[in-house]
Structure 1
């Protein structure tokens, strides 16, 4: 993992909020950028996949996380450990703590925040839910379009698993990291869930 410091995040009134550290994880699906501060994780940026990764055996070999020169704040360490487990040994994610989140969207009460929290809490590894079903779980069954908007604005993909939200028809639907990445993530989870069930 490579890490670097970036300038402080400032609020609208110009007050300094936190020092943000960015890191790059080399994952089976490409470089994943994570950023955060001592308070929590700010964002996960996914790569756009143009081709599928190689076989599962090779995928597992690419899960290693290289330590960068600067120490990462605890929330980024937790994020890196969680993502490494997700790609290499998904069963371990259940025992790992989730990093605290420190993104503006997740700080204030809103339907988007409610949807993202519901998704993270109720839609488990290897499962999928439609936009309409997630809207109902979040308390408003008529808000499928709003759920789509919440998925597009999700700052913490994979940990907040917006890739598990699919169309009612069963098609994967669109994804911020691209449809190929969404299909890969769903397939990855399905394969590992089946392995655990044996």
Structure 2
């Protein structure tokens, strides 16, 4: 058996259900809802929106809109990472990724393999086709299954399913809506160009 990447996923402690906490982060694309516990992030819910800001300069600072007084560490790391993604994307590579605590990411499955491959191999400002991602995850004929994995991704943006596009170059479907997907891709492209252009002080 080929060795697989083993992500940092904390198993549920038997007999001790998680104490789920919720945070709402105000972002340039609207309110992002994050749920999680001491063990890890459960889910990131993107706003369903049909109107997104034009232009990609973050028009809204990213800030916690509402959340618990005592925020578990995975939620702190998640909000810090998302804030950096929208406001200072060049710094996301230096930030710790939060632990994930979602059943889908704990079962050994092709879906989990695809999501981890995407997280590790497809960097900021890049895009891959469903087929390329299937190849990277070790099964080039599973492009359709990759589409299913993208639809069930519980941690969008951090696990960047918006970077998976059709072979034709068309952006394809997205849980947060097609406009959201195109906004995220455009945000990354512009930020990457800015860094490449030596957008220094």
Q: Is the partner of 1:44 in helix, strand or coil?
A: strand
**CA deviation after TM superposition for structure 1 residue 64, in Å:** 3.1
Q: Paired residue for 1:70?
A: 69
Higher relative contact order (CA 8 A, sep 6+): 2
- CA separation in 2, counterparts of 1:185 and 1:197? 18
Listed as ranges, the matches of 1:1-198 within 5 Å are 15-57=15-57, 59-66=58-65, 68=67, 70-198=69-197
Q: Paired residue for 1:4?
A: none
8 Å contact kept, 1:50–1:180: yes
RMSD (Å), alpha carbons: 1.6
> For the structure 1 residues 18 and 170, does the alpha-carbon distance in structure 2 shift closer, same or farther, using more than 3 Å as the test?
same
More strand by share: 1
> For the structure 1 residues 16 and 62, does the alpha-carbon distance in structure 2 shift closer, same or farther, using more than 3 Å as the test?
same
8 Å contact kept, 2:24–2:67: no
TM-score relative to the length of structure 2: 0.88
**CA deviation after TM superposition for structure 1 residue 48, in Å:** 1.4
| 5+ long unaligned stretches in structure 2 | 1-11
8 Å contact kept, 1:115–1:134: yes
More helix by share: 1
> For the structure 1 residues 194 and 135, does the alpha-carbon distance in structure 2 shift closer, same or farther, using more than 3 Å as the test?
same
| 5+ long unaligned stretches in structure 1 | 1-10
> For the structure 1 residues 159 and 24, does the alpha-carbon distance in structure 2 shift closer, same or farther, using more than 3 Å as the test?
same
**CA deviation after TM superposition for structure 1 residue 16, in Å:** 4.2
- CA separation in 2, counterparts of 1:170 and 1:71? 44
Q: Paired residue for 2:3?
A: none
**CA deviation after TM superposition for structure 1 residue 108, in Å:** 1.3
Q: Is the partner of 2:19 in helix, strand or coil?
A: strand
Aligned residues between the structures: 185
- CA separation in 2, counterparts of 1:81 and 1:133? 30
